[in-house]
Amino acid sequence: MKKYLLLSLKTLNILILLCFTFSTVLVVANLGFIPLKYRAFAVASRSMYPVMEKGDLIFADRSGNQTYNVGDIAVFEEPGYKNRFVVHRIVESTEPGYITRGDNNAANDNWVVNQSSIQGKYIKKIAKLGDFLLFLRTLPGIIIFIVIPVIYLVALEVNVIINEVIEHRMRKAAKPESVTSIK
């Protein structure tokens, strides 16, 4: 029974560590702190249906000096907002920039997207994983997938340190003290 319990605890530790690692990597990749070739974005609306659904996780190729053509799906910073991204198709290329529209929208967007606002070109999606990413950005998501695993891992390490201190004291107490004789 004890062996089964230890195996279960080890499995739980590995699952929590994997969950924490996956969550952290997903959040960091989404925030763009690390200059990776690809960046993850969560789809927050149905404007690109049927290509993308709300809640999908998409990846954009951020390769430098990329050219964009009519028909490409681009991820860009919404004009007038910082760190608010839109995923729409380029429908026209003009001198000042690109005209975009969501596939599920009847009209073009009411802005012109310049090259510097584009974060990358859509390349791949994973259905519904964006919901997880959106949840990770909420307070309950941060608590469940980041704070609790960190507290758990710290508690495990504190337990190991306490056990080592106890064992050290027990060994020290079990050693017979050497007696020095006075001659």
Per-residue pLDDT of the chain (183 residues; tens, 9 = 90+): 555 555 577 777 787 778 777 777 766 666 655 567 888 899 999 999 999 999 999 999 987 777 899 999 999 999 888 889 999 999 999 999 999 999 999 999 999 999 889 999 999 999 998 898 888 889 998 898 888 888 988 888 898 899 999 998 998 888 766 556 565
Q: Please count the CA atoms within 13 angstroms of the CA of 16 that sit on its side-chain side.
A: 18
pTM of the model: 0.70
In a domain, 183, yes or no: no
d(CA 2, CA 16): 21
Task: Assess whether 87 and 155 both reside in one domain.
Answer: no
What are the helix (H) ranges across 32-174? 129-136, 139-142, 148-174
pLDDT of 110: 95
Task: Assess whether 58 and 131 both reside in one domain.
Answer: yes
Task: Assess whether 78 and 151 both reside in one domain.
Answer: no
